[in-house]
Amino acid sequence: MAFLEIIDLSVAYQSNFVVLRNLNLSVEKGSFLSLLGPSGCGKTTTLRTLAGFLSPINGKIIIDGKDYTRIPPHKRNMGIVFQSYALFPHLNVFENIAFGLKMRKINKSEINQKVKKAIDLVGLTGLENRLPSQLSGGQQQRVGIARAIVIEPDVLLMDEPLSNLDANLRVEMRNEIRRIQQRLGITTIYVTHDQSEAVALSDQIAVMNSGKIVQLGSPNQVFSNPQKRFVANFMGFQEIASGVVEELQNEFAVVRTTEKSLRARMTTQLNTGEKVVLCARARRMNIDRRDGENKLPTQIISKIFQGENISLILKMPNGNSASVEVEPSQVEDLSEGDRVFVHIPQDHLLAIREEEE
């Protein structure tokens, strides 16, 4: 059994508004799992249920073999980091971090020692006496993290802790979070709707949609081998065509589209005759002047200079538009309105079942 097990968990607000439906998840001790999904899919609800602020209508939460489902929040020993830092404005950095230890009636010298260690770990040494209002956003979030880890929690829960920070600081802080988590080996559940954050931080990513986990896997599995249409779209793939599986060749499917047949990689086993969508990333497609295998005819709708590369917006045979990112030198002679072919190498073209279960 894994360290943390969520079994058939269903959670509702009021009695009839079910937000989580039979959610199952297991997290190994010391590992970092991200819940990744769009706004409203139930990420915060999952965390609040784990923390004990919401009672499930069904299912169980097991931590280290013990049933936590009905245990009140203050007896769960979980560290929580929120999006809004939620620091006490009238307490200084030291006192904010020490708060949870004081509540646990730990003696003064031990509190001093633990808080010092936490302050050192998050890089706030020297700022012990500042009030939250005298700190930057990144520093405030470091206090939030220190406060959560100082109690030596069994599980660390983080709900979009970086979303209030600017882009550069977000990248810096996410590296910090990974470093701290690995140093302490705390089992962590991290909520985000930012795929790059989830990919950079996690051992495992659970992609959520409408209260369900639609795919669970390593960052590479979720990023490169989405198994469902929703996951592919959410991870940045574009649907460039749809068609029917004609033939199977090992991990590849030959897919008949309205235009022609293309070879695409399967991320789940498909059957001949199944309807699929063909998905590819903008950076994995190339422009070609001549027709050939795994190429589709398109027309350039617009050409956008992006600094290092050029983004071409193409009109695909099915009427959808798709973008391709290429080196400027490859498309110097092309302009809006031109008809060209787009080549999608078979390894980078995914065939994914059209129907969502």
Chain residues binding ligand ATP by CB under 6 A are 13, 17, 19, 37, 39-45, 193
CB-based contact 86:96 (threshold 8 Å): no
What would the two tokens of residue 172 be? 């810096």
How far apart CA 34 and CA 200 sit, in angstroms, is 10
**Binding partner of residue 241 among Mg ion, ligand ATP, none, CB cut-off 5 to 8 Å per kind:** none
The CB-of-191 to ligand ATP minimum distance in angstroms stands at 6
Nearest by Cα to 260 from 243, 274, 278 = 243
| Pattern 183-212, Mg ion, x by CB under 5 A | ------------------------------
Nearest by Cα to 2 from 30, 21, 22 = 30
Q: Given the complex with ligand ATP, which of 119 and 213 has the nearer CB atom?
A: 213
Q: Given the complex with ligand ATP, which of 193 and 348 has the nearer CB atom?
A: 193
Q: Given the complex with ligand ATP, which of 21 and 283 has the nearer CB atom?
A: 21
Question: Which single residue brings its beta carbon nearest to Mg ion?
Answer: 44
Q: Given the complex with ligand ATP, which of 40 and 185 has the nearer CB atom?
A: 40
For residue 140, the surrounding DSSP H or E stretch is helix 137-149
The CB-of-174 to ligand ATP minimum distance in angstroms stands at 17
The CB-of-35 to ligand ATP minimum distance in angstroms stands at 8
How far apart CA 60 and CA 45 sit, in angstroms, is 15
Question: Taking phi first (over 0 means left), then psi (-120 to 50 degrees means alpha), and beta for anything else, what does residue 133 get?
Answer: alpha
The CB-of-192 to Mg ion minimum distance in angstroms stands at 9
Site for Mg ion in 36-95 (CB under 5 A): 44
Instruction: Measure CA of the first residue to CA of the last residue in the chain; give whole Å.
Output: 28
- Per CB under 5 A, residues contacting Mg ion are 44
